[in-house]
Amino acid sequence: MKYIRYEDERPIDRQFGGFIMRLSTGPGKGVLRVLASLVSRALEGGDVCLDLQSVAGREIMTGEEHVSIPELPELLDVLSRSGVVSDGGGNLPLVKGRGSLLYLQRYHVAESGLARAILNRCLEPQGDPEKEARTALLLQLFPAESEDGGGMQRAAALQALRRRFSVIAGGPGTGKTTTVVKILALLAGEDGTGGGRIAMAAPTGKAALRLSGSVRMQKAALHCTDAARRAIPDEASTLHRLLQAVPGTGRFRHGPLNPLPYDTVVVDEASMVALPLMHAFFSALSPSCRLILLGDPDQLASVEAGAVLGDICAAARLPGSALHGSVTVLERNYRFDGGSDISDLARAVNGGRVEESLGLLAPDRGNGVVLRPPYVGWNERDGVPEELADAIMEGYRPFLEAGDPPSALLAFDRFRMLGAIGDGPGLSGVRGLNMAAEQVLRRAGLIDPSSPFYHGRPVMVRENDYSMRLFNGDTGIVFNDPECDAPLVWFNAPDGSLRAVAPERLPKHETAYAVTIHKSQGSEFDAVLMVLPRQDSPLLSRELLYTAITRARRSVEIRADPEALSAAIRKGTARVSGLKDALLNP
């Protein structure tokens, strides 16, 4: 019998396992305890469920406890007789789903409900593409198919016109926002009424802010009527704000009985949306609402459970799928010129090609992407390594010397240090990098961190606060109010303005000279300094690297051991989920 050592069982996992064991009325209580604990632990790692095949016939070792898991047929019999596992039709805490998947009940409800909602939209009658293709506005906004990628944008527009559900996928800089703005103008028509009420949303405040700015810029350049241009909203909201989250409850005011009052909804950065939130969102759409998702399925999946956009795109690739044709992938990159090494590196990493990636990162190429040795041997008492100190000064001096908050916020987004982990030894984690930045900038006389809200301190919000209209991921800068010389934290607002918040009114937040790669999603910087742990880690994957690389517009420096970097490029992340199968086999 093969052994699995289960060393990362958390107290909450053990408590849940004990609850299920006590609730069970059938045999195999020890087996049920371990399986329930594993299901709970799987969610923390981003999986939606536990694949029983991965543990059947194994012996699980948790501390001093050894539990033998039966082979799959006997294990399924144990579950069916347990009194705590349903097949999805009851209200028991665990659900045995398709094949050998075991769920917490609420996640099975979310996954199966989301699959039904997507398929219902895909099975609706389609429009007449030939009639749509003859419209003058379509030809004006999307010229005839060409080699520069315009043909794929036009194809995405036709799919959005034909269907109540469509996805425009592609990496950063491939024109997703440009395409969707033209689609919204096309839907609006010359009189601006064809698209009905339009809403735009994103999973985080930062992503909503970027979407708002991009849409305002794109629609100003559109060749369409003023009425069509006015029909396109200027401001995007977070999904939580769109659904009107009820603080402290986990519920939303909009749902099946109180649907959203929109005829067209666009959601950007859809790869960041976890399964429960995506299910709640779909449940709140009226049957006639047209939904367009934008996102990059190759990026990191959501922090919480699920890889919804990736599952949708994977299902849509198969010709027999009801989703076939719903997803258009834009490939031409408009951000980088042909042969850009950032673009080439992103593709090589995404493809798991180690030698090609390392070749592009060679120090002597001078091409804007480079791999250098990791920073070692630093603690709070030691001086920061000279190369890191130089990077911090070059990257952050401009925003600290800015004369006003708008200039400071603009300059701050030109450079960012990104880490794979929040805390780690020395400079391997975000905490150490932030401490190093404060040390360097203090010694240069650019900051005075003797008080928590010192002038120039960058902060990132860590939780949603609807009363303050601040959301997880929002980034601001402390800048002294010139009238009273008191500190205020300045943020960009979705409408393009600036707003100031008193420090004592901030929700949970953290210093943000450096942020984790997960928290950088939805952002762009001119230059990125990526710092990875010296040793291979379960957190390191090609999706993590790809996400960090594609945050950069001009340059990427990676500080890592070549062996650890190579291991990460080889390692793809596959989350356990039944959504793809549910979409393929209703």
Over its C-alpha atoms, the chain yields an Rg (Å, rounded) of 25
Specify the residue for token string 């060679």. 362
Beta-bridged to residue 525, according to DSSP, are 552
Is 173 annotated in a binding site? The answer is yes
| 427 within 8 A of 375, measured Cβ to Cβ | yes
CA separation for the pair 234, 495 (Å, rounded):
7
**For 436, phi and psi rounded to 5 degrees?**
-65, -40
Is 170 annotated in a binding site? The answer is yes
CA separation for the pair 257, 452 (Å, rounded):
46
Is 46 annotated in a binding site? The answer is no
Q: Quote the tokens at residue 257.
A: 């009985």
**Rounded to an integer, what is the distance from CA 97 to the centroid of its chain?**
26
Question: DSSP letters of 296-344?
Answer: -TTS---SSS--HHHHHHHHHTSTTSTTTTSEEE----SSS-TT-HHHH
Is 419 annotated in a binding site? The answer is no
Distances (CA, A) of 195 to 184, 231, 267, 503: 7, 8, 16, 41
Is 171 annotated in a binding site? The answer is yes
CA separation for the pair 305, 315 (Å, rounded):
18
Angle between helices 29-44 and 11-23 (to 10 degrees): 140
Element (H, E) at 161: helix 150-162
C-beta neighbour count of 255 within 10 angstroms = 15
Is 445 annotated in a binding site? The answer is no
C-beta neighbour count of 548 within 10 angstroms = 29
Q: Go through the chain and tell me how many residues it has.
A: 586
Q: Quote the tokens at residue 481.
A: 């109010």
Element (H, E) at 80: helix 72-80
Distances (CA, A) of 89 to 51, 92, 95, 110, 373: 20, 9, 9, 14, 55
Element (H, E) at 214: helix 205-220
User: From the annotation, which residues make up the binding site?
Assistant: 170-177
Residues of each annotated binding site for ATP: 170-177
